[in-house]
Structure 1
Amino acid sequence: MHESNNTKTDKCIHQLFEEQVDKAPDADADAFKQQLEIVGTKQRQTWIKGKRIELANIETALLSVSGVEQAYVLAHQTLLVAYVVFAGVWNPKQLHSHIQQQLPPYMIPKAYVPLSSLPLTDKGKVDEVALARFPVIDDNVVQQWETQLKAVPEIEQVAVVVQQKTLKLPPLHISDLLLSEQITLPNNAATPVAEKSVPTTELQTQSTSGKPAISAGEAIKWSQNAPTTLAQVLERAAQNQGDTNLIYIQSDGEAIAQTYSELWVEAQRILGGLRQLGLKPQDKVIFQLESNQDFISAFWGCLLGGFVPVPVSVPPSYDQSHSSLTKLENTWQMLGQPLILTDRKLVSSVRGWSQRLNLGRSVVETLEQLRGFAPDTNIYKSQPQDLAVLLLTSGSTGIPKAVMQKNSNLLSMSAGTIAMNQFSSQDVTLNWMPMDHVGALVFLSIMAVDLGCQQIHVPTELILQSPLKWLDLIDCYQATISWAPNFAFTLIGDRAEEVKKRHWNLSSMKFLVNAGEAIVTKTARNFLQLLNSYGLSTTAIHPAFGMCETCSGITWSNSFSLESSSDEDKFVELGQPIAGTCLRIVDGNQQVVGEGVVGFLQVKGASVTSGYYQNITANKEAFTADGWFNTGDLGFLKNGCLTITGRQKDVIIINGLNYYSHEIESALE
């Protein structure tokens, strides 16, 4: 049988592709494993042409390039290959040009491989063997393809072009959406989001805009000397804003001040004490600390040594069974029985509990003991991709999931949030939520250190016992940024008569975040109406979306106000994503839907976790094949802005109709 010219050409191309791409990486895998054993993955060094190269230095240079979210460098025989997760249009030539300006020639990668995410091992480390199997298509491979294709008689001219593979947007499958077709689009769907805060009572199942429900923030714009680790952030604050205070309000109302310079020295003392206990970089430290000052000092002390703090809420009692106590025990076992750091007040109870479980006395230490050591100025040189903190979230089996957040994740969230909202060192943050909550720790503490601004921390129970103290403190310290879930705004509204007797100046508060639970529009509006006469702007409330897995907030709304909303609005727009972050809405088949269509929210970006610590099952459930994180939320996008309609597991279906749990709760309130 005779083959056509087209068939011959197709076979030639197919064979050439296999030889140049598929076989080369796989054949190199065994040799690469041997190379790992020779070079050593702990130091991550390699020798090329007689020069020792620290691979982490190349990665740091790559991460300084705008748009690079993650980077990892491997040595393939005598060539350096950079694996890059990039936000935006992939342009290896432009990336190569940037790197040439920062590194000597012998440290310049030979090739750049774009990835949607870095592959991880079961222990959460970058899987170097898996990376080695990815095809490396450089200029030499392209030239070989062109040369061999030109040798085919049927081909007169040829040009091989390397471009990023993009998935074609498939047809929308509306019938596969969770929500039913009884949901409809409001008549004023064309109203710009900037003018109106989702003035809807109902939603739609079909898009009218024709745009896919994908919203991407711009690339993060890092300053030239921006810190790349949290330890560098604190050092900069101590040097540049050393006299700026952290204020710790005590349960009796007393205020204790600590400057950034003092925090820097105290963190060094704690570092010295932890090293005396034998801790090594990346060792875990479980926190059982009630005082905000103790927590913050211990947190930074851990970071200076490369140790990984693991905040766990303090249980009501160590003698009686409680979910918080079970969480503490399960976390301790899950992490390999690390050190538990507590204070002098709790130590006897913690040790008594640990002895009953045969944990041993040696696993518990007090912060007061660590503070007695001399400052250790030998700060560990962490890397941007080093694990910085483990944040606990609930697991379906009762075993908590530990969210891994690296230096780069946390700093990306901070940089994106600061840029979007134009925060500065002149701001004053006020926090009264527990420090083991991501919003308190990252948004109102780590970001505040990044800004070098004054920060106020208040015991949670103090505000819960007397909610108006929140407003007292805003007035006293002229705070500009604060945060609380919707219930806190209800607490203020319930005290309207008492509010009328007070005298406050709340005009400083420009960014009051409502997030952490479903936002009830009527509650937020009532809060603004009640306090407007005290100088609180009608635009002061900023709805937001975030979670542990995203390092707190990644969308911030600047459109909510009394004028742009009504009491009847069921849903509140939460804003566009910060720089370095992408959102998309998909249906039950993982296909992107159109704008305005309710579906499942997925996120991706520089501040999104790489996964759960040593939890293969949870990671498989949480991430898609192309690296998007499933938030578990239902929502839609409109003009690039996010609106959450509920949680995937919080929708009650009765007779085919969908009821959101927060709507029922709002009605009961």
Structure 2
Amino acid sequence: MKYSFLKDYKDPLIQNCNTYIDVIKNRVKANPNHVVFRFLNDGINENESFSYQQLEIRSKALGTAMQEFAQKGERVLLLFPPGLSYVASLFACFYSGMIAVPAYPPRRNRSLDRIHTIVEDSGATVSIISRQVFNDIERNFAEDEVLNKIHWIVYEDVADEKESDWKPQEILPGDIALLQYTSGSTGQPKGVMITQLNLLYNSEYIRQTFDFDKNSVGVNWLPIFHDMGLIGGVLQAAYLGVLNVGMPPMAFLKNPLNWLKAIEKYKGTTGGGPNFSFDYCIQKTTEEERAALDLSSIKTFYCGAEPVRKPTMESFPEAFEKSGVNPHQMYPVYGMAETTLIVSGGYQHEAPKYLKINATALQENKVLLADEKNVKTIELVGCGHAWMETEIEIVDPNTFDRVEKNRVGEIWVSGPTVAKGYWKNEEESERTFGAKIKDENEGSFLRTGDLGFLHENELYITGRLKDLIIIRGVNFYPSDIELTVQNSESSLKQNSGAAIPITINGEEKLVVVQELERIAMRNVDHNKIINSIRAAISEEHELDVYGIVLIRTGSIPMTSSGKIQRRLTKYGYLNNELNVVAAWKQEEASETVQTRKTEEPTIENIKSWLTNWIVRNQHFRAEEIDANKNIMSYGIDSLAAVTLESEISQQFGFQWHVSSFMLNPTINKLAEEGMQIYREEQGK
């Protein structure tokens, strides 16, 4: 079979491939010693690498171990910290025709509910797992019937010599390569079925949109168990026969200079992330540090996974101008797991396109160019156009008619990039992947759930039809957050709350609106309830909450059938129309304790500094801080944790690691550990 979408790629190793894994096998034969992956575990020093031959040997050895317990088509759970062990295990599934189920391992001492749900939904019978993760979670197996039935293969226990016993499998284009579970979902997981053909088509799609060539080098910090880091980084490099340099997300969050310096060191030509990551690079670097960088090798800084903002697209190249960055390198894209990865992108070497429109008209789903003065406007960033055989249509989500020109509608997508559907969910697959435009016979479309319009063939995203909250590029389902909230306190009414996103300074934030039980309207400590909600959301979802509103019983907007109307709730919140009993939001938190510089650390100084930091950054009052309580309950997510690590190390002059916050999670225990580290470093 020869696909028409490959006709413009003159590489003979690609031309007659039927599947993604065919490409990899050809590259192994043609260039076995080419190093395709390098990994910097601390963001600075290279500790792992794979040539094509090393990758194949390791993958086949792991495949042999899997074949002892499973056959082609069975699901294999992958549980690894960031690194190339995960990559080898993924390719082991590809070689063996088994279906990879990537999942991020839970933190130590945290719930395995999400892993349990994914295993139960996917029917995974085998897992390849790192020794570290296995030791962390093994004690939970006896209490969990689902996890107890898994055949656990510890990665480090599989010798490369097992490769000789590997049994080849016939891999077909329609075979499912992996299940990409949508991030954030715990209650009703959706495993997107990505086929070998999906991977082949999307890899070629990215090559064309990004204008990659044999000299391309990707430098990535994104998680490789999610689509952008996995397909756009790891699998793309292997497809092209080039190099991908990776590092853990925590290495970027700890210090974005790690990523930027890796681009300089390895002469990276492409890299990127969600919109927040570019703002973060500006916030966490100085003018002197930026001026010392040489980023002139970069052709493309891609930006996607959350709304792309014009101020960011302009401020990043301006801030890094002395590093060799210019506006033409900024590359907004649009995509999702349901389309394997990418849907649209512009032409390389062109600056992003912006469109200023009438904001009032947009609320009525009309697109009017803003050419008058004294009119409220909004400026949108274009996300390019469809390429190859992919088609984008704008459709009325209620009537399924094509929308008229200059009207907003739901974005529908068709073509080989669209995944096969949701695993074991025919009804939802048909609704989402089998949509048809009214009175037309153009085949099926994917309903993205996103709203937008086309202007001069450029796609502009205006919002979301589906209930989804995207914070720092991660998807969260409101129903999951609402369940966490309602289980946090008995005084909260079940099925009577809404988690809603609002935009503050161009960044999406989480607000919770929740009804109280009637008996909790008076003579109850509402501040305690609010703090319980914040702690529960932080611990379960690793999210910081911007605002919490407790409202009267029976006052949340509902449909006649009893469904929460989140859009009306959001409208009520923004317009101060809710029936409020008590409310809190970050700006109102009192900074009653001021930070003070310490000259030498003592246990009391460290405790005081940590208390001040939580008050200042997490918006609690000093009297609400308990030195014996887990500090993660104060809304400290992964980004806040690395910020805390950096600031406390600078304050007291010794090196602290973010893992301390998981192992010794209270202020008292951290202060004791800090003094121990200080004494060791000082030789006292």
- Secondary structure of the 1:364 match is strand
Question: Partners of 2:413 and 2:406 in 1: how far apart?
Answer: 17
- 2:445 paired with 1:632: no
Change (3 A) 1:357 1:441: same
Residue 218 of structure 2 corresponds to which residue in structure 1? Answer: 429
Residue 386 of structure 2 corresponds to which residue in structure 1? Answer: 577
- 2:34 paired with 1:225: no
In structure 2, what residue type is equivalent to 1:575? G
Residue 418 of structure 2 corresponds to which residue in structure 1? Answer: 608
Question: Partners of 1:495 and 1:566 in 2: how far apart?
Answer: 30
Residue 130 of structure 2 corresponds to which residue in structure 1? Answer: 343
Residue 653 of structure 2 corresponds to which residue in structure 1? Answer: none
Post-superposition Cα deviations, 1:441-494, rounded to whole Å, max 9, x if no partner, equal 111111111100011011110000101211111101110111200010110121
Residue 158 of structure 2 corresponds to which residue in structure 1? Answer: 370
Written as runs of structure 1 = structure 2, the 5 A alignment for 1:437-456 is: 437-456=226-245
Deviation at 1:410, TM superposition (A): 1.0
1:479–1:509 CA contact under 8 A, matched in 2: yes
Written as runs of structure 1 = structure 2, the 5 A alignment for 1:111-150 is: none
Change (3 A) 1:401 1:651: closer
- Secondary structure of the 2:391 match is strand
Written as runs of structure 1 = structure 2, the 5 A alignment for 1:182-193 is: none
Deviation at 1:379, TM superposition (A): 2.6
Residue 305 of structure 1 corresponds to which residue in structure 2? Answer: 96
- 2:298 paired with 1:509: yes
Post-superposition Cα deviations, 1:109-150, rounded to whole Å, max 9, x if no partner, equal xxxxxxxxxxxxxxxxxxxxxxxxxxxxxxxxxxxxxxxxxx
1:66–1:222 CA contact under 8 A, matched in 2: no
Question: Partners of 2:271 and 2:50 in 1: how far apart?
Answer: 20
Post-superposition Cα deviations, 1:163-194, rounded to whole Å, max 9, x if no partner, equal xxxxxxxxxxxxxxxxxxxxxxxxxxxxxxxx
Judge which range, 636-645 or 299-308, deviates more: 636-645
Written as runs of structure 1 = structure 2, the 5 A alignment for 1:536-615 is: 536-558=325-347, 570-587=379-396, 588-615=398-425
- 2:44 paired with 1:240: no
Deviation at 1:496, TM superposition (A): 5.0
Residue 289 of structure 1 corresponds to which residue in structure 2? Answer: 80
Residue 618 of structure 1 corresponds to which residue in structure 2? Answer: 428
Change (3 A) 1:426 1:335: same
Q: How large is the Cα RMSD of the aligned pairs?
A: 2.8
Change (3 A) 1:390 1:493: same
In structure 1, what residue type is equivalent to 2:83? N
Post-superposition Cα deviations, 1:394-428, rounded to whole Å, max 9, x if no partner, equal 58771210000111111111112212332122100
Residue among 316, 319, 323 paired with 2:107: 316
Residue 115 of structure 1 corresponds to which residue in structure 2? Answer: none
- 2:188 paired with 1:250: no
In structure 2, what residue type is equivalent to 1:66? S
In structure 1, what residue type is equivalent to 2:435? T
2:65–2:153 CA contact under 8 A, matched in 1: no
- 2:165 paired with 1:360: no
Question: Partners of 1:351 and 1:590 in 2: how far apart?
Answer: 50
- Secondary structure of the 1:311 match is strand
TM-score, normalised relative to structure 1: 0.62
- Secondary structure of the 2:22 match is helix
TM-score, normalised relative to structure 2: 0.61
Question: Partners of 2:290 and 2:197 in 1: how far apart?
Answer: 47
In structure 2, what residue type is equivalent to 1:239? K
Question: Partners of 1:498 and 1:581 in 2: how far apart?
Answer: 42
Residue among 254, 265, 290 paired with 2:57: 265
Change (3 A) 1:571 1:285: same
1:272–1:370 CA contact under 8 A, matched in 2: no
Identity rate, percent: 23
Question: Partners of 1:501 and 1:444 in 2: how far apart?
Answer: 25
Change (3 A) 1:449 1:569: farther
- 2:178 paired with 1:389: yes
Question: Partners of 1:486 and 1:577 in 2: how far apart?
Answer: 21
Unaligned ranges ≥5, structure 2: 357-376, 437-442, 470-499, 510-684
Question: Partners of 1:578 and 1:268 in 2: how far apart?
Answer: 35
Q: Which has the larger radius of gyration?
A: 1
In structure 1, what residue type is equivalent to 2:429? N
- Secondary structure of the 2:453 match is strand
Post-superposition Cα deviations, 1:335-370, rounded to whole Å, max 9, x if no partner, equal 224212211112123322222213326522211123
Question: Partners of 2:355 and 2:410 in 1: how far apart?
Answer: 26
Residue 652 of structure 2 corresponds to which residue in structure 1? Answer: none
- 2:272 paired with 1:483: yes
Residue among 626, 646, 662 paired with 2:463: 646
1:283–1:338 CA contact under 8 A, matched in 2: yes
- Secondary structure of the 1:526 match is helix
Deviation at 1:534, TM superposition (A): 1.3
2:291–2:320 CA contact under 8 A, matched in 1: no
Residue among 255, 275, 278 paired with 1:466: 255
In structure 2, what residue type is equivalent to 1:345? Q
Residue 185 of structure 1 corresponds to which residue in structure 2? Answer: none
Post-superposition Cα deviations, 1:429-451, rounded to whole Å, max 9, x if no partner, equal 11111111101111111111110
Residue 190 of structure 2 corresponds to which residue in structure 1? Answer: 401
Change (3 A) 1:414 1:662: farther
2:114–2:186 CA contact under 8 A, matched in 1: no
